[in-house]
Structure formats: structure tokens, C-alpha cells
């Protein structure tokens, strides 16, 4: 029964949420337009008997189990207060007799600054079994809708306000739970942060399904680290969603390319979805639901929200905090690894507390800050906490180069941290020291080799000399013997030649024998 | 019988409900005091004939519809407020003349 808007408009409005009521109309759904005519003249008391007679017949005819009285107040307000109550009771009795579930809607007068409105028909909440109060308010210029279960007979229920959103998927109520999601998938699987050394510092990377917060001052490479994580996810073949409240997708891709993080190919293949949003345009609740819907649509396993502090910009602090808790709970429950960044200056994040207290809820918290010394500003990375993983307590320098991101040891001397050029100088000094030592060693070796070679040569020369001396000695002995023989032979030879002797027969005469 | 000058009324009621009984009484009084027989009254009991309510777009009871003379007027209530009824059906001036 429509007392305010007519059925045509109700159906048109419902269709914008994708509910095709028209389709149900002949058999399943019946609209009764009951808007009081503006020309209606009232002369005395009236009652709902006629309406109930009509409904009675209709309910019986179609076997209806549900009935909606939309804006019943439009009708009741035609009556004085006492009569209103009488007719409301009549309606109530009829509903109970028919054993039909009825939804009655009505307005409340909203007072500024008061959460609970004043009912126009004060008896209505007492009459019904359950009361759901919808509230729409503007906080800091941003619209916020909240729902509260005020009464629910025969059942325990959460009495707190829950934000809700009317979007393209219809009516979505944020599930506010005071307990952690029970269905959390706990895994020991690690996923890479995209920076090899950071993985090592974390004892193998982030946990799958964990939430990671990266805080830091502007320009400390929060987005870059998120980008590295995204690239690593895509490289593993996982689907990723990157929500940025800072830059347009094309800008993100270009900026990350400068440090050799290449996301374009993954965006083209559809594996990665980059979404840019403006923080101010909606309240945190709508942002949360949009992110959730996008992640579900994209079937993302890895999610980046950069920066998550954008969610806290609008609306009241409490709601934002609530939204963040739910985002963390939800990603954990479905096993999505969440990396979010938050703007946070200063060198002692734990002392300042993190934006919106999110840091207490995340599993891993990495803080980036600048260390300014000797006229330089260098990026330092600290793992503030990382649940369930052993992690390095070292501050490391984050170095961004064309070739990529790397983490470098910092020099700590006498409690001072050296980074950037000072670190480089230190390294260089150490390096040149080493080089000199090496050079000296080489020189020494060479000279020893030379000495060795010289000695070897000398040894060879001596050997040769020795040989020569021996040969000379041997020669000397031979030539002595030869000299004696030669002279005897020569004498006999001369005799023969002179013919003084005959030549002996068969054999030569012995020298010195008489002819 | 639709005669020029005659008042034609349709009164929608629900059985023996107090407001319905009162409305019938009030309408009879009105016709007797002001119309002196120049009228026709049809009473529709929605408990017996609920379909009529949908056809004629009458949901609240009692409802008096003045079909003639034109314009058609719809008056809800038990008609206790006679001055309002007379004004609505255009009999206020007539009564004053009388």
C-alpha cells in the first residue's frame, strides 16, 4: 500500500537499483495506490475498516505473505491522536489475525544534534515487534546514512548504529561487529613485498592475507613500495586492485616506471585494475563499499589503498575508524593481502600514533622517514611491527634508482646513522683501503716472483757453468794421452819414409825395433 | 433515476461499524432536512463487496461520494461535522436562503 509515492514512481526508483518489480506485478506483487487526494474533504471520524476489507480480499486472493504500508503516517495524520491509536491497533490486530508479515514505514522528526528522532506517531514503536530507525545526517558537509535496530522482540540484537549505503547494488548495510571475523583464513604463506631485501628483513615477506600499513611523510616512497608489491603480485599471476586517492592511473604507471616498476602490461592484460578516486566526494562508508565491490568484481587477491588516510578525511572520526576496521576484517576474512599507506610525518611514528589508530589493527607496519644530515635528505625504512614474523630491527636506507628499489645498510657509528653521501663516503673509504691493501699484496707478490725468477736464472747459469767446467776437464785428460802416442808414431813414420827400414810383413814394425 | 436537480449519493460503509452506522444516520438526516426527497442514496458495504473499493478508489470508511450535481465530491468521515458536509456538497448557500 503506497500512501505517499505512487506505484509507478516506486517501481521506477526500484529499477535504478536493478530490482525489476514490474516483472512481479501480475501474480506476485500487487500495488495499491492509496495516496490521500489533496481534494479530500473530511467531515468527522473515519476508520480503516474499508481498507482492511479490501486488503482482506486481496490477501486471500493472491495468498500474500508480506505486506508493506509505505508512509502510513500520511494516512494516520488525518486523524486526531486518540483515533490514530485506535486505528493503528485495528491494523495491528488485522495483521496478527492474518498471520502476515508487515512492514510499516513512517517519518520521524529529526532534531539537529539528536540521534533519535521524534516519532510523528508515538504509539507506532510500541505496537510493532521490531523497529528499524534510518537516519540521514550531514557531518562536515558529507552525507551519512545510518541504521539502528531499536527494538526486536524475542531476539538479542546489536543496538549500535550501522552505516548504510544506497548504491547501484541496492541497499547495503555495513556489518558492524564487535568481534573479529571468525572465518579468518590463517596461513603461513608469504608473499613478496616486491623488494628482495625487505622480504629478508621480514623473514620471507608479508603473510598472505595480512594487512600492511606503510606510513611516512610526503615523498618517502610509500606509493612506490605499494607499486613494488603490486608488481610482485602480478608477476606471480595474481589479480590486484590498486586504489589511489592521489593520482590518476596513467600517472601512477608513469611514476612507477621511473623506478623500474612496470605495471602497464598487467593493466593491459586485465590482471591489474587501477582506480583513482577523490577523497572528498563521498563519505568513508561509501568509499569502503566501493573498494569492497571493486575488489570482489575484480576478484583481487592483493589490494592497495593509497592512501588509506583519505578515508578519514570526511565524516566523523568514529565512522572512519569503524570503516577501516571493517576493511581490515573483510580483507582478512576473504584472504586478500592489503597494503595501505598513510601520511604520517615525523621520525617517531609510535609516539605520534598513526592516522586513525589503524596501526593497532594492521599486522605489519613499515615506517618511512627522512633523515636530514649534512645537507641531505635520505629515506629511511623501519619495520615498526610485524606480527608473527621475526623481523629486522635495523633502519635501512631506501634507495630509488632507475633500476629499481633497494635497501642499503646504513652506517651507525657512535650512535649516529649515516646515509646517502656520507654512507657512500664511508663505503668508499673502506673500499679504497681495501684496494690499497690488495695492491700492496700484489706488488709484494710480484717482487717475490721476480726474486724467485732471478734465483732460478742464476741457478741455471751456475749449472751451465758447472757443465762447461766438467767438459773442459775431460778434454784436458784426453789431449794429454794423445800427445805421447803422436810423437812415437811420428818417429817410426819418418824412418819408413827415409827407407832405412823395410816395411814389416803383415804388420808394421814396432817402433824402436832394429831393422 | 437520474433527474436534473436531484442529488445522487454513494455511501461506502463497512457493515455495522460505529462510524458507518453514524454516517448512514447523518446522511439520512441531511437529506430529510435539506433535500426533501430530491435525492438518491446508494449504500455500498465494502465487507460484502470489497472489489468496489478498488474500482471506485475508496479505501477509508465511511466515505460519501456526491456524484450529482457536478462536481463530484468525496467526503470521508462519519459526517458528524454537518457544516463541513453542507459546504462540501454546495448546500451551504441553499440552507442560508432557507
Residue A203 CB contacts under 8 Å (≥ 6 apart), including other chains: A389, A390, A391
How many CB pairs lie under 8 A apart between chains A and B?
100
| Contact (CB<8Å) A50/B61 | yes
Q: What is the mean pLDDT of residues B49-67?
A: 88
Using a CB-CB cut-off of 8 Å, the residues of chain A touching B59 are 32, 34, 50-51, 54
Long-range contacts of A330-335 (CB under 8 A, 24+ apart): A330/A181, A330/A292, A331/A209, A331/A211, A331/A295, A331/A303, A332/A181, A332/A184, A332/A185, A332/A209, A332/A210, A332/A211, A333/A181, A333/A183, A333/A184, A333/A185, A334/A185, A335/A185, A335/A187, A335/A208, A335/A209, A335/A301
Using a CB-CB cut-off of 8 Å, the residues of chain A touching B14 are 47, 49-50, 53
Q: Give A108 to chain B, closest Cα distance, Å.
A: 24
* CA atoms of B94 and A122, how far apart (whole Å): 43
pLDDT of A41 reads 86
pLDDT at residue A248 tops 60 = yes
* CA atoms of A344 and A367, how far apart (whole Å): 9
- Cβ atoms of A320 and A284 closer than 8 Å: yes
Cis status, amide bond into A232, omega within 30 of 0: no
pLDDT of A339 reads 92
CB atoms inside a 10 Å sphere around CB A30: 18
| Contact (CB<8Å) B54/A42 | no
Cell numbers describing residue A393:
630491527
* CA atoms of B36 and B33, how far apart (whole Å): 7
- Coil, strand, or helix at residue B17? coil
> What does each C-alpha distance from A121 to A30, A34, A202, A282 come to in angstroms?
26, 19, 61, 33
Q: What is the pLDDT of residues A34-68, one digit of tens each?
A: 888 877 888 888 888 889 999 999 999 899 999 99
Using a CB-CB cut-off of 8 Å, the residues of chain A touching B61 are 46-51, 53
Cell numbers describing residue B37:
426527497
Nearest to A275 by CA among A260, A296, A295: A295
Cβ-nearest to B84 among A41, A48, A54: A41
pLDDT of B3 reads 45
% of chain A at pLDDT higher than 70: 80
| Contact (CB<8Å) B61/A56 | no
Q: Give A59 to chain B, closest Cα distance, Å.
A: 12
Highest mean pLDDT among A80-84, A341-345, A497-501: A80-84
Using a CB-CB cut-off of 8 Å, the residues of chain B touching A40 are 74, 76
| Contact (CB<8Å) A49/B22 | no
- Coil, strand, or helix at residue A211? strand
pLDDT band at A432 (very low <50, low <70, confident <90, very high): confident
Paired sense of beta strands A302-306 and A240-244, if any: parallel
| DSSP codes, A372-387 | EETTEEEEEEEEEEET
pLDDT of A152 reads 87
B83, closest residue in chain A (CA to CA): A43
Nearest to A296 by CA among A385, A172, A379: A172
pLDDT band at B1 (very low <50, low <70, confident <90, very high): very low
Long-range contacts of A421-426 (CB under 8 A, 24+ apart): A421/A374, A421/A376, A422/A373, A422/A374, A422/A376, A423/A397
| Contact (CB<8Å) A44/B51 | no
| Contact (CB<8Å) B47/A53 | yes
B55, closest residue in chain A (CA to CA): A54
pLDDT at residue A24 tops 80 = yes
Nearest to A275 by CA among A297, A454, A262, A324: A297
A61 touches B at CB < 8 Å: no
**Residue B75 φ then ψ, to 5°:** -125, 125
pLDDT at residue A131 tops 70 = yes
Residue found under cell 612506490: A224
Q: What is the pLDDT of residues A324-339, one digit of tens each?
A: 888 888 888 888 999 9
Q: Give A65 to chain B, closest Cα distance, Å.
A: 20
* CA atoms of A37 and A164, how far apart (whole Å): 34
A82 touches B at CB < 8 Å: no
Q: Give A78 to chain B, closest Cα distance, Å.
A: 10
Using a CB-CB cut-off of 8 Å, the residues of chain B touching A41 are 73-76, 84, 88
Q: Bridge partners of A142?
A: A139
* CA atoms of A460 and A465, how far apart (whole Å): 9
**Residue A142 φ then ψ, to 5°:** -115, 135
Q: What is the mean pLDDT of residues A257-261?
A: 90
- Cβ atoms of A192 and A199 closer than 8 Å: yes
Q: Give the max Cα distance, chain B.
A: 41
Residue found under cell 616498476: A261
**What's the helix, strand, coil split of chain B in %, to 5?**
40, 25, 35
pLDDT at residue A178 tops 60 = no
Nearest to B10 by CA among B19, B34, B53: B53
Q: What is the pLDDT of residues A277-310, one digit of tens each?
A: 876 666 777 788 888 888 988 999 999 998 887 7
Using a CB-CB cut-off of 8 Å, the residues of chain A touching B43 are none
A50 touches B at CB < 8 Å: yes
pLDDT at residue A116 tops 80 = no
Q: What is the pLDDT of residues A484-496, one digit of tens each?
A: 667 767 777 777 7
Q: When comparing pLDDT for A493 and A242, which is higher?
A: A242
Among A32, A34, A42, A43, the strongest candidate for a mutation testing the B interface, having the largest count of B CBs within 10 A, is A43
pLDDT averaged over chain A? 80
Q: When comparing pLDDT for B73 and A491, which is higher?
A: B73
Q: Give A289 to chain B, closest Cα distance, Å.
A: 42
Nearest to B61 by CA among A87, A35, A94, A120: A87
| Contact (CB<8Å) A53/B50 | yes
Assign 3-class secondary structure to A117-178. Answer: CEECCCCHHHHCCEEEEEEEEEECCEEEEEEEEEEECCCCCCCCEEEEEEECCEEEECCCCC
pLDDT band at B55 (very low <50, low <70, confident <90, very high): confident
Cell numbers describing residue A476:
784436458
Kindly report the length of chain B.
98
Q: Give B77 to chain A, closest Cα distance, Å.
A: 4
Nearest to B40 by CA among B82, B74, B6: B6
* CA atoms of A79 and A87, how far apart (whole Å): 9
pLDDT of A117 reads 54
| DSSP codes, A59-114 | HHHHT--EEEEBTTHHHHTTS-HHHHHHHHHHHHHHHHHHT-EEEE---EEPPTT-
pLDDT of A68 reads 93
Long-range contacts of A433-440 (CB under 8 A, 24+ apart): none
* CA atoms of A399 and A379, how far apart (whole Å): 7
Amino acid at each position: 500500500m503506497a500512501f505517499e509515492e505512487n506505484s509507478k514512481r516506486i517501481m521506477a526508483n526500484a529499477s535504478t537499483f536493478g530490482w525489476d518489480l514490474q516483472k512481479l506485478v501480475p501474480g506476485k506483487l500487487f500495488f495499491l495506490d492509496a495516496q490521500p487526494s489533496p481534494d479530500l474533504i473530511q467531515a468527522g471520524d473515519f476508520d480503516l475498516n474499508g481498507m482492511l476489507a479490501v486488503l482482506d480480499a486481496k490477501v486471500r486472493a493472491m495468498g500474500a505473505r508480506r505486506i508493506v504500508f509505505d508512509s502510513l503516517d500520511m494516512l494516520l495524520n488525518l486523524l486526531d491522536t486518540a483515533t490514530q491509536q485506535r486505528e493503528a491497533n485495528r491494523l495491528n490486530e488485522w495483521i496478527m489475525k492474518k498471520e502476515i508479515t508487515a512492514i510499516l514505514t513512517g517519518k520521524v522528526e529529526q532534531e539537529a544534534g539528536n540521534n533519535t528522532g521524534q516519532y510523528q506517531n508515538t504509539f507506532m514503536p510500541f505496537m510493532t515487534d521490531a523497529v528499524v530507525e534510518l537516519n540521514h545526517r550531514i557531518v562536515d558537509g558529507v552525507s551519512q546514512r545510518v541504521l539502528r535496530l531499536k527494538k526486536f522482540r524475542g531476539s538479542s540484537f546489536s543496538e549500535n548504529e550501522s552505516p548504510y549505503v544506497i548504491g547501484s547494488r541496492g541497499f547495503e548495510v555495513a556489518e558492524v561487529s564487535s568481534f573479529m571475523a571468525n572465518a579468518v583464513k590463517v596461513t603461513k604463506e608469504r608473499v613478496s613485498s616486491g623488494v628482495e631485501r625487505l622480504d629478508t628483513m621480514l623473514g620471507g615477506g608479508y603473510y598472505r592475507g595480512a594487512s600492511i600499513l606503510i606510513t611516512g611523510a610526503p615523498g618517502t616512497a610509500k606509493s612506490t613500495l605499494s607499486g613494488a608489491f603490486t608488481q610482485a603480485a602480478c608477476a606471480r599471476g595474481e589479480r590486484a586492485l590498486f586504489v589511489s586517492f592521489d593520482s590518476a592511473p596513467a600517472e601512477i604507471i608513469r611514476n612507477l616506471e621511473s623506478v623500474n616498476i612496470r605495471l602497464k602490461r598487467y593493466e593491459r592484460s586485465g590482471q591489474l585494475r587501477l582506480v583513482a578516486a577523490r577523497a572528498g566526494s563521498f563519505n568513508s562508508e561509501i568509499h569502503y563499499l566501493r573498494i569492497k565491490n571493486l575488489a570482489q568484481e575484480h576478484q583481487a587477491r592483493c589490494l592497495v589503498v593509497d592512501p588509506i588516510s583519505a578515508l578519514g578525511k570526511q565524516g566523523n572520526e568514529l565512522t572512519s575508524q569503524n570503516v577501516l576496521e571493517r576493511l581490515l576484517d573483510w580483507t582478512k576474512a576473504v584472504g586478500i593481502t592489503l597494503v595501505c599507506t598513510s601520511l604520517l610525518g615525523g621520525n617517531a611514528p609510535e609516539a605520534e600514533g598513526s592516522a586513525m589508530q589503524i596501526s593497532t589493527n594492521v599486522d605489519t607496519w613499515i615506517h618511512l622517514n627522512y633523515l636530514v644530515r649534512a645537507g641531505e635528505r635520505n629515506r629511511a625504512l623501519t619495520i615498526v611491527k610485524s606480527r608473527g614474523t621475526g623481523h629486522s630491527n635495523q633502519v635501512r636506507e631506501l634507495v630509488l634508482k632507475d633500476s629499481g628499489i633497494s635497501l642499503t645498510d646504513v652506517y651507525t657509528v657512535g650512535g649516529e646513522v649515516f646515509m646517502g653521501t656520507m654512507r657512500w663516503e664511508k663505503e668508499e673509504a673502506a673500499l679504497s683501503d681495501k684496494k690499497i691493501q690488495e695492491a700492496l699484496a700484489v706488488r709484494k707478490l710480484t717482487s717475490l716472483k721476480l726474486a724467485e725468477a732471478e734465483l732460478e736464472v742464476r741457478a741455471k747459469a751456475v749449472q751451465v757453468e758447472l757443465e762447461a767446467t766438467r767438459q773442459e776437464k775431460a778434454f784436458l785428460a784426453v789431449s794429454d794421452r794423445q800427445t805421447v802416442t803422436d810423437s812415437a808414431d811420428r818417429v817410426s813414420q819418418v824412418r819408413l819414409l827415409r827407407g832405412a827400414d823395410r816395411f814389416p810383413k803383415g804388420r808394421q814394425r814396432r817402433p824402436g825395433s832394429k831393422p | 433515476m437520474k433527474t436534473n436537480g436531484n442529488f445522487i449519493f454513494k455511501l461506502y460503509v463497512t457493515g455495522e461499524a460505529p462510524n458507518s452506522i453514524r454516517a448512514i444516520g447523518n446522511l439520512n438526516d441531511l437529506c430529510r432536512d435539506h433535500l426533501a426527497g430530491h435525492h438518491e442514496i446508494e449504500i455500498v458495504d465494502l465487507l460484502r463487496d470489497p472489489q468496489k473499493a478498488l474500482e471506485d478508489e475508496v479505501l477509508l470508511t465511511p466515505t460519501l461520494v456526491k456524484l450529482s450535481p457536478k462536481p463530484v465530491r468525496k467526503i470521508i468521515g462519519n459526517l458528524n461535522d454537518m457544516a463541513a458536509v453542507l459546504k462540501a456538497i454546495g448546500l451551504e448557500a441553499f440552507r442560508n436562503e432557507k
